């Protein structure tokens, strides 16, 4: 726990595909201890596109949706499906009930079943960033770092609205999970509260007609707001599970056509802004001339830079030592 | 009406919840108990049997023959009941997820004795909702579980007419912290769910018979006046329910019939001899008033908070029943509370509360859909109970008041006053089941399993005939369950802790603890993170849940995954989650095997964190656990959870070099 392996070495181990280094990497990335912040920066530097020579290969997938939609059961089936394809999987499960101001009960990993001897699966529960479903800076950094080691990195969040926006900023592919009969999602989509997801998953397909109708309604809603490319899939996580392979393919398909460097660039810049905001708050942003000015600064920065480098850039600009 | 009965009443059925090690050893114990005047059997199965695993399954490790008898196939059931005439015996089986299977084995064992199933009397507990809520020995998801129950009811009403296929069990709700109002309301809501499911599977004219075959299994705590009122309230609600919801008119079918095991939650580890008077008073709660008297009674032993009771301890409890029934004048009078203002007032109060709470469950969609709601309510009630004990508002003699004591001669001698199960039992049972599989007609077993799998996937068919055929064909408990798990899927019940409310503010000790958690978290760079784990098959999660909730209230990040984890799963979680400390809870007596196994798995993964253990751990085993590397051991006498948390935080600080409190 009080390991002193330096950050660049942890990064090198992850880059070499040593999944055993992942828990330690997460401990370092989550830590606010001064010594760990330096290790964290070195770790992220070692995994930056500049250091790798390309974007990290892992597929960053955001899975989000309202409570009770069946995300965890679905995830359980998805993890098994990816493992059957011999892909390694990391899941960052963001707990909605917790705030960074106090303790939290992190129970989500219980619902994802996997063989504990299988080192190709990692599940880490993390706390949300003080607001419902929002992502903590460490979660963004962790997802980007793990993408250099795992074939698939899932960030699972709860809720519709903020969490969906945060995940969209971070992930290569966003899947929104809803259960049949959840009219909210339909309303959120139509009213623009919710961004158009890359894949929309209707769970509980075993419910039959209700699920079919939900799928039809959502497809129609998506068409009406220009989300023609969004695949809408019906799945059932109950035995016999159905639709899981189709979902894996739909996620792959989206990843194949996405402009990865553009998405990742946006992701790193959003991570930097979130970290800067968490560290320096409103006062820090004012020193930069506001959030839009901060965004312009980031947009002008080196596209290969990792998040901590971008944070330092903002700090220099704001004249914060 | 005279104040005397013309004839003294017959006593209730007297049972002792018993079983351990092997079928042959338990058979010996049953015969000896019956010769001492016990009038019914109460079979305690071990956890692998209750959750559907064979003795050689990885999850069974450490649990075989511990809290009950292992019954893995027809041969075990025949040996268990050898020489006990089943046409004259009234047998209670505490079995739930695998109830259909154990009833099938019982029917087949009776056949072997030449007794037809029509002649069998007794009950299978078969109450799955309370397993989700409190006891944890579920195996399948809620819906198929309810189908199995409905199938058993439909089968029993027709073919095993003297059998009570279900007893709605509020016992474990009280053990999980339920107030009397909650115990009544959740038991009744649960009964409604069962009856509604059964109603769909039997012809309308059989519904009154089904209603009449539902019995209850309740708890009785030491507040024995109120507890008696609870039973009177339950019989009023039950009759009402029968008339209004199910159209039952036969007064016999409308009678509220119940068996009892009195409270174990209130039994103490410190000064355990005081438990004897608690047990006596609790027995009065369910026998005192004739209008709501138990049909069957079993009493725990004085030393249950210390470990497994020995035959002598159980004999003592049986003798309590016999003194009550045969020496006192209890059975000579009509109802002694008739016309009592106090009793009527208490009953009215409980009825009001229970009706309101039943309405709340109904609003959550009934007992099956409302499991999450009820679970969270129970976790809250239990926390309130612990808070009252910690603060001294609720007196527990010998624990939080009058704690000074002379050394107890009852705890002297080798073994420290409890029963220990020989670890060779598990080894022998593993070998025995392999022999059984090798020697049976494997083609017949395969065919029976294939048919079972087919019926499981055909929800309109009844599971019982295929289950009885499988029992005859020599199928094992693990095989039966695996076939159903494949058809129904696996399930993890809600833990209830996520929804539990935050602790009340204004508690100075907790506030000081929070400050210390903040300080240590700051020094570590990450919030103190604890894994609370329950290794093995023990589903009694109340203790672990309370620890998890208190750790959260103290400001820690808590990873709690619920029950039934293998040592490898716990170690993998500790590694992946990057926790600073691991807390393990075991009540089933399997700590000697499972705790060292967890330590080994942690070491294999280079996870260097302190491990603390809580549960029913006999003094003699504490050293053994410490030698295996455990940093601290807590038992029921450590009732102050905030103090435990303070220890844990200090341990984390010391282990990870975060200094000492300022």
CB contact under 8 Å between A104 and B489, yes or no, is no
Number of continuous H segments (helices) and E segments (strands) in chain B: 26, 15
Chain segment B541-578, per-residue pLDDT in tens: 888 988 998 999 899 999 998 888 999 999 999 999 99
Whole-Å CA distances, A114 to A17, A76, A83, B74, B138: 20, 8, 10, 33, 20
What is the rounded distance in angstroms from the CA atom of residue B105 to the CA atom of residue B471? 6
* Residues of A whose CB is below 8 A from B490: 113
Which position has the higher pLDDT, A191 or B393? B393
Task: Name all domains of chain B by residue range, CATH numbers in brackets.
Answer: 13-393 (3.20.20.240), 508-655 (3.40.50.280)
B34-53 residues touching A, CB cutoff 8 A = none
Residues 164-223 of B with CB under 8 A from A: none
B299 CA to chain A: closest CA distance, Å?
Answer: 36
Query: What beta strand segments (E) does B616-661 contain?
Result: 632-634
Chain B residues whose beta carbon lies within 8 Å of the beta carbon of residue A113: 490
b or e along B501-528 (b: 16 or more beta carbons within 10 Å of the residue's beta carbon)?
eebeeebeebeebbebbebbbeebbbbb
Q: Find the closest chain B residue to A102 by CA distance.
A: B555
Closest by Cα among B541, B536, B583 to B558:
B583
Interchain CB distance below 8 Å, A98 and B557: yes
Cis peptide bond N-terminal to A240, omega within 30: yes
DSSP letter for B284, please: H
pLDDT value of position A100 = 47
B637 is catalytic: no
B540 is catalytic: yes
| Residues from chain A contacting residue B577 (CB–CB below 8 Å) | 23, 106, 109, 124-125
Question: What angle (nearest 5°) sits at the alpha carbon of residue B567, between those of residues B565 and B570?
Answer: 65
Question: What is the tens place of the pLDDT at every residue in B470-522?
Answer: 999 999 999 999 999 999 987 877 777 766 666 655 578 888 999 999 999 99
Nearest neighbour of B561 by CB, restricted to A26, A107, A117 = A107
Lowest mean pLDDT among A85-99, A298-312, B61-75, B515-529: A85-99
User: Quick check: B557 and A106 CB within 8 A?
Assistant: yes
Which of these ranges, A163-167, B172-176, B241-245, B402-406, has the smallest mean pLDDT?
A163-167
Mean pLDDT taken over chain A = 87
**In terms of CA atoms, which chain B residue is nearest residue A21?**
B576
* Chain B residues touching residue A33 (CB < 8 angstroms): 523-526
pLDDT tens track for B329-377: 999 999 999 999 999 999 999 999 999 999 999 999 999 999 989 999 9
Determine the 3-state secondary structure of B529 from DSSP. Answer: strand
What is the per-residue pLDDT for A99?
A: 56
CB A157 within 8 A of CB A163: yes
Q: Do domains A1-53 and A59-257 have the same CATH topology?
A: no
Mean pLDDT computed over every residue of chain B? 93
- Chain A closest CA to B526's CA: distance in Å? 5
Which ranges in B178-223 belong to alpha helices (H)? 180-199, 207-212
Residue A1 has pLDDT above 60, yes or no: no
**Span B151-169, mean pLDDT?**
95
Is B172 labeled as catalytic in the residue annotation? yes
**Residues of B with CB below 8 A from A111's CB?**
492
Q: Is the pLDDT of residue B631 over 90?
A: yes
The fold of the A1-53 domain, in CATH, is: 1.20.5
Give the Cα separation of A158 and A161 in Å (integer): 10
pLDDT, greater one: A256 or A212:
A256
Each residue's pLDDT tens digit, B88-136: 999 999 999 999 999 999 999 999 999 999 999 999 999 999 999 888 8
Asked if B492 and A104 come within 8 Å (Cβ–Cβ), the reply is: no
Instruction: Report d(CA B494, CA B176) in Å as an integer.
Output: 14
What are the beta bridge partners of residue A277? Answer: none
- By CA distance, what is B528's nearest residue in A? A103
pLDDT digit string, tens, across residues A99-157:
545 788 887 777 788 888 899 999 999 877 665 557 888 898 999 999 999 999 999 98
Do B555 and A102 count as a contact with CB atoms less than 8 A apart? yes
User: Which residue among B488, B524, B558 sits closest to A106, beta carbon to beta carbon?
Assistant: B558
- The pair of structure tokens assigned to B169 is 């069990």
pLDDT of A163 > 70? The answer is no
Comparing B79 with B553, which gets the higher pLDDT?
Answer: B79
The per-residue pLDDT for range A34-47, each reduced to its tens digit, is: 999 999 999 999 99
Residue of A143 and B415 predicted with greater confidence: A143
Q: Is B534 a catalytic residue?
A: yes
What is chain A's Cα-based Rg?
A: 19
> Which of A2, A97, A103 is nearest residue B498 as measured by Cβ atoms?
A97
Across the interface, which of B490, B523, B558 has its CB nearest the CB of A103? B558
Residue B408: its pLDDT value, please?
87
Taking one residue from A and the other from B, the number of pairs with CB-CB distance under 8 angstroms is: 104
Question: Cβ contact (<8 Å) for B656 and A239?
Answer: no
User: Is B471 touching A (CB cutoff 8 A)?
Assistant: no
User: Smallest CA–CA separation between A26 and chain B, in Å?
Assistant: 8
Closest-CA residue of chain B to A114:
B569
Q: Which of helix, strand or coil describes residue B95?
A: coil
Tell me whether B397 touches chain A (CB under 8 Å).
no
Condensed to tens digits (0 to 9), the pLDDT of residues A233-255 reads 999 887 778 999 999 999 999 99
Nearest CA in chain A to B488: A239
Q: How far is CA B114 from CA A242, B110, B441, B460, B592, in A?
A: 48, 6, 23, 32, 42
**B283-336, pLDDT tens digit by residue?**
999 999 999 999 999 999 999 888 889 999 999 999 999 999 999 999 999 999
Please name which of B158, B173, B169 lies closest in space to residue B123, comparing C-alpha atoms: B169
- Cβ of B578 under 8 Å from any chain A Cβ? yes
Rounded Cα distance between B318 and B334, Å, is 25
Q: Which among A27, A31, A105 is the nearest to B548, CB-wise?
A: A105
CATH topology of domain A59-257: Rossmann fold (3.40.50)
Q: Which member of B540, B580, B591, B656 is catalytic?
A: B540
| Rounded Cα–Cα distance for residues B43 and B18 (Å) | 6
Residues of chain A neighbouring B514 (CB-CB closer than 8 A) = 102
Domain ranges of chain A: 1-53, 59-257, 259-321
Residue of A122, A94, A129 lying closest to A108 (CA atoms): A94
């Amino acid at each position: 726990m009080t390991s002193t392996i330096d950050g660049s070495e942890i990064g090198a181990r992850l880059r070499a595909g040593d999944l055993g280094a992942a828990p330690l990497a997460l401990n370092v990335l989550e830590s606010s201890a001064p010594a760990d912040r330096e290790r964290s920066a070195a770790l992220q530097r070692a995994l930056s596109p500049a250091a790798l020579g390309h974007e990290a290969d892992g597929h960053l997938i955001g899975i989000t949706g309202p409570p009770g939609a069946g995300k965890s059961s679905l995830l359980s089936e998805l993890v098994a499906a990816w493992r059957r394809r011999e892909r390694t999987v990391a899941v960052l499960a963001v707990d909605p009930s917790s705030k960074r101001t106090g303790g939290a009960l992190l129970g989500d990993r219980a619902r994802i079943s996997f063989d504990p001897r299988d080192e190709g699966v990692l599940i880490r529960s993390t706390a949300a960033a003080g607001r419902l479903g929002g992502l903590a800076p460490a979660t963004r950094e962790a997802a980007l770092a793990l993408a250099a080691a795992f074939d698939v990195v899932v960030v699972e969040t709860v809720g519709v609205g903020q969490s969906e926006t945060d995940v969209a900023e971070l992930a290569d592919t966003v899947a929104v999970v809803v259960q049949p009969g959840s009219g909210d999602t339909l309303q959120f989509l139509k009213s623009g509260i919710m961004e158009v997801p890359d894949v929309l998953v209707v769970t509980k397909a075993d419910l039959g007609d209700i699920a079919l109708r939900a799928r039809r309604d959502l497809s129609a809603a998506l068409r009406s707001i220009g989300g023609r490319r969004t695949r809408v899939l019906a799945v059932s996580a109950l035995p016999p599970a159905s639709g899981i392979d189709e979902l894996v393919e739909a996620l792959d398909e989206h990843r194949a056509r996405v402009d990865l460097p553009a998405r990742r660039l946006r992701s790193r810049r959003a991570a930097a802004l979130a970290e800067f905001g968490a560290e320096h708050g409103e006062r820090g942003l004012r020193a930069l001339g506001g959030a839009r000015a901060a965004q312009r600064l980031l947009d002008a920065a080196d596209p290969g830079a990792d998040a901590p480098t971008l944070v330092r850039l903002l700090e220099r600009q704001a004249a914060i030592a | 009406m005279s104040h005397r009965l013309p004839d003294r009443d017959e006593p209730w059925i007297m049972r002792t919840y018993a079983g351990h090690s092997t079928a042959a050893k338990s058979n010996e114990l049953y015969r000896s108990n019956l010769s001492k005047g016990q009038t019914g059997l109460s079979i305690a199965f071990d956890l692998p049997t209750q959750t559907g695993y064979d003795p050689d399954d990885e999850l069974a490790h450490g649990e075989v023959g511990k809290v009950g008898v292992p019954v893995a196939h027809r041969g075990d059931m025949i040996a268990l009941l050898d020489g006990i005439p089943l046409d004259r015996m009234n047998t209670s089986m505490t079995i739930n997820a695998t109830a259909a299977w154990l009833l099938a084995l019982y029917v087949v064992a009776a056949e072997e004795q030449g007794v037809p199933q029509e002649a069998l009397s007794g009950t299978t507990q078969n109450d799955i909702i309370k397993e989700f809520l409190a006891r944890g020995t579920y195996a399948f998801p809620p819906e198929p579980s309810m189908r199995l129950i409905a199938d058993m009811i439909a089968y029993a009403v027709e073919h095993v007419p003297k059998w009570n296929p279900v007893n709605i069990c509020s016992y474990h709700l009280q053990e999980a912290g339920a107030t009397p109002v909650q115990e009544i309301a959740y038991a009744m809501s649960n009964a409604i769910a069962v009856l509604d499911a059964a109603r769909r599977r039997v012809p309308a004219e059989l519904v009154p018979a089904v209603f009449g075959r539902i019995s209850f299994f309740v708890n009785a705590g030491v507040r024995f006046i109120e507890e008696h009122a609870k039973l009177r309230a339950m019989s009023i609600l039950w009759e009402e329910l029968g008339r209004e919801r199910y159209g039952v008119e036969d007064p016999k079918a409308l009678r509220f019939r119940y068996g009892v095991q009195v409270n174990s939650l209130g039994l103490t580890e410190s000064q355990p001899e005081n438990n004897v008077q608690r047990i006596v008073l609790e027995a009065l709660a369910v026998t005192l008033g004739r209008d709501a008297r138990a049909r069957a009674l079993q009493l725990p032993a004085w030393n249950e908070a210390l470990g497994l009771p020995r035959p002598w301890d159980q004999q003592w409890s049986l003798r309590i029943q016999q003194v009550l029934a045969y020496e006192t004048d209890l059975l000579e009078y009509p109802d002694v509370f008739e016309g009592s203002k106090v009793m009527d007032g208490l009953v009215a109060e409980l009825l009001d509360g229970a009706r309101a709470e039943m309405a709340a469950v109904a609003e959550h969609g009934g007992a099956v859909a409302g499991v999450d709601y009820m679970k969270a309510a129970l976790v809250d009630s239990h926390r309130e109970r612990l808070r009252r004990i910690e603060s001294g508002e609720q007196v527990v003699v010998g624990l939080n008041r009058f704690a000074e004591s002379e050394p107890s001669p009852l705890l002297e001698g080798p073994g420290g006053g409890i029963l220990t199960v020989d670890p060779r039992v598990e080894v022998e049972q593993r070998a025995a089941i392999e022999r059984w599989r090798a020697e049976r007609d494997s083609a017949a077993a395969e065919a029976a399993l294939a048919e079972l799998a087919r019926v499981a996937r055909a929800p309109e068919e009844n599971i019982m005939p295929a289950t009885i055929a499988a029992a005859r064909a020599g199928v094992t408990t693990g095989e039966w369950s695996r076939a159903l798990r494949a058809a129904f899927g696996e399930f993890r019940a809600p833990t209830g802790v996520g929804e539990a409310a935050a602790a009340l503010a204004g508690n100075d000790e907790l506030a000081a603890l929070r400050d210390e958690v903040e300080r240590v978290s700051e020094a570590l760079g990450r919030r103190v993170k604890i894994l609370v784990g329950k290794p093995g098959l023990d589903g009694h999660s109340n203790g672990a849940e309370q620890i998890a909730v208190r750790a959260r209230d103290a400001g820690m990040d808590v990873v709690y995954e619920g029950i039934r984890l293998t040592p490898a799963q716990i170690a993998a979680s500790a590694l992946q989650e990057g926790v600073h400390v691991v807390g393990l809870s075991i009540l089933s007596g399997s700590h000697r095997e499972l705790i060292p196994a967890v330590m080994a798995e942690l070491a294999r993964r280079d996870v260097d964190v302190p491990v603390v253990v809580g549960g029913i751990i006999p003094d003699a085993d504490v050293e053994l656990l410490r030698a295996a590397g455990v940093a601290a051991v807590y038992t029921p006498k450590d009732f102050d959870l905030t103090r435990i948390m303070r220890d844990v935080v200090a341990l984390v600080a010391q282990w990870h070099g975060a200094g000492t409190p300022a």
